[in-house]
Amino acid sequence: MTARVLRTTGPWVALVLVGMTAAWLRYGLIESSVIGQQCGTVASPLWCTWRQWLVVGFLHNVYGVVALVTAVIAIFSRRLGVAWLAAALGLFALVLYCFQSGAIALLIGSLRLLRVQARAPPTAQDGPRQRDVQRQP
């Protein structure tokens, strides 16, 4: 794989991993009836506190608000990391029940990520640019 392909597809692969992690948190940890029963007992494990904080986060739309704030920052920023973070937080919020704000942040973050990647200058490893016009003989 060339460096350019890796640089272009890397953020999108990482975004898919964020989505898979969020789906695992939702379906494997939050919605699991077995884990819900285990955390409902008096002698619940310590990690049930983290599960409860995840639930409180989406009940108060914390994930959606954080995703929207990051998306607004990404609109005015030209950094790849900020655009990726807006898309990742939007996807996380979308999967964890903050539908409207998560979808908007995912859309803005993805569009900004595409824009930043399109404006990235080619490196020396990429070779000559395809848009260079050659003189006719």
- The predicted-structure confidence for 7-53, as pLDDT tens digits, reads as follows 889 999 999 999 999 999 999 999 989 888 888 888 888 888 899 99
Q: 3-state SS of 26-69?
A: HHHHHCCHHHHHHHCCCCCCCCHHHHHHHHHHHHCCHHHHHHHH
Task: Tell whether 21 is covered by a domain.
Answer: yes
Task: Tell whether 63 is covered by a domain.
Answer: yes
Number of domains in the chain: 1
With beta carbons less than 8 A apart as the criterion, state whether 71 and 83 touch.
Answer: no
User: How far apart are the C-alpha atoms of 80 and 120, rounded to whole Å?
Assistant: 9
Task: Assign 131 a pLDDT band (cuts: 50, 70, 90).
Answer: low
Tokens linked to 24: 């695992």
Cα 111 to its chain centre, rounded Å, is 12
pTM metric for this prediction: 0.83
Task: Tell whether 127 is covered by a domain.
Answer: no
Task: Tell whether 129 is covered by a domain.
Answer: no
Task: Tell whether 124 is covered by a domain.
Answer: no
Residue 107 lies in domain = 3-119
Task: Tell whether 128 is covered by a domain.
Answer: no
Residues near 81 by Cβ (< 8 Å), separated by ≥ 6? Answer: none
